[in-house]
């Protein structure tokens, strides 16, 4: 819309774990002068020159914050985004846009102000994106359930405060080292209770990993999903591995068991698929995971990286 004044884009897909409407994206852009209509599986948008607006989100959506940020950079006037997402990825995007010539204030807070510039002001830059903290969390969980000791390069603990707190409470040792994080766990995992919240709270993407860790703990932990109540579809797959998990509304009651056993399971989405991999590493016997295309969307080389840590993981091509 910002460059051409017109867009025709297919309705979004992605992981199926509950309603994730795009209404905040559309309402924000409409406030900036765009008009939208739905047409046979796509959204068509048109606008003249986008104009600045005061936009308040119902929820601190990462995607909506990113969308409005990028639109506001080349809009006329000032755009204020209230209840903006505060994730490190938002701060990183703002840093890159600033390098390119954008005028942005408030990145990392819940109010971001963008003063639009002419498109000709924006220049190409080279930017190294922030490390994927959910990938880091995945490898941390793998080390924990396998009672290992590993260094994860380029991990940034300042972006993972709530996760590190829960890991520490469970008995996992997490220390910052040069260019990364050292993770080790040699004793039993203690149970904790966890509730998902927008950043800086406990991320919903971490939740399947903590469920796996709780499934191997010495007691019972309760995981509460406040963002996507339907995001427990993977539990049925974890049960095939011998976990003891009860779903009660938007709560998962996870009772630790002595050991898991290998099974054939299906990855329903990116993070659940990664959690099944972590569970399979700790299980006795062989675990075979199908529908791994979901995992591939979020992990560029999960087999190679786990293998470098000593895991016995291979990809079967049929």
* Active site positions, annotated: 15
- Torsion angle of alpha carbons 66, 125, 2, 298, nearest 10°? -40
Contacts of 169 (CB under 8 A, 6+ apart): 190, 192
Contacts of 193 (CB under 8 A, 6+ apart): 221, 222, 223, 224
Beta strand 220-224 with 6-10 is unpaired
Q: Is there a contact between 140 and 167 (Cβ–Cβ < 8 Å)?
A: yes
Q: Give the residue from 293, 85, 105 showing the smallest Cα distance to 204.
A: 85
Q: Give the residue from 236, 160, 223 showing the smallest Cα distance to 196.
A: 223
Q: Is there a contact between 262 and 287 (Cβ–Cβ < 8 Å)?
A: yes
Cβ–Cβ contacts within 10 Å for residue 69, how many? 23
As a whole number of angstroms, the distance between CA 218 and CA 96 comes to 45
Cβ–Cβ contacts within 10 Å for residue 228, how many? 16
In Å, how far are 6, 79, 105, 204 from 116, measured between CA atoms? 19, 8, 12, 33
Cβ–Cβ contacts within 10 Å for residue 276, how many? 29
Tokens encoding 234: 């993977």
Q: Is there a contact between 309 and 148 (Cβ–Cβ < 8 Å)?
A: yes
């Amino acid at each position: 819309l910002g460059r051409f004044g017109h867009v025709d884009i297919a309705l979004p897909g992605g992981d199926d774990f509950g309603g994730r409407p795009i209404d905040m994206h559309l309402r924000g852009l409409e406030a900036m002068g765009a008009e939208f209509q739905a047409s046979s599986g796509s959204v068509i948008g048109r606008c003249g020159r986008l104009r600045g607006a005061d936009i308040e989100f119902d929820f601190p959506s990462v995607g909506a914050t990113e969308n409005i940020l990028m639109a506001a950079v080349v809009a006329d006037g000032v755009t204020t985004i209230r209840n903006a997402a505060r994730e490190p990825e938002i701060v990183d995007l703002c840093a890159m846009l600033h390098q390119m010539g954008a005028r942005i204030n408030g990145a990392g807070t819940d109010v971001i102000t963008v003063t639009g510039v002419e498109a000709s002001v924006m220049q190409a830059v080279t930017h190294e994106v922030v490390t994927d903290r959910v990938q880091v969390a995945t490898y941390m969980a793998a080390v924990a359930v396998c009672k290992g000791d590993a260094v994860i390069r380029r991990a940034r603990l300042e972006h993972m405060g709530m996760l590190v707190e829960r890991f520490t409470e469970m008995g996992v040792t997490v220390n910052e080292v040069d260019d990364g994080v050292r993770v080790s766990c040699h004793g039993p995992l203690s149970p904790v209770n966890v509730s998902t919240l927008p950043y800086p709270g406990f991320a919903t993407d971490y939740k399947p990993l903590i469920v796996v860790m709780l499934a191997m703990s010495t007691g019972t932990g309760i995981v509460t999903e406040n963002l996507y109540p339907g995001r427990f579809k993977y539990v049925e797959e974890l049960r095939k591995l011998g976990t003891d998990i009860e779903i009660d509304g938007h709560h998962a009651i996870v009772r630790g068991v002595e050991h898991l056993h290998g099974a054939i399971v299906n990855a329903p989405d990116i993070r659940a698929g990664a959690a099944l991999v972590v569970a399979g590493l700790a299980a006795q016997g062989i675990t075979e995971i199908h529908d791994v295309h979901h995992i591939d969307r979020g992990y560029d080389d999960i087999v190679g990286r786990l293998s470098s840590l000593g895991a016995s993981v291979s990809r079967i091509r049929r």
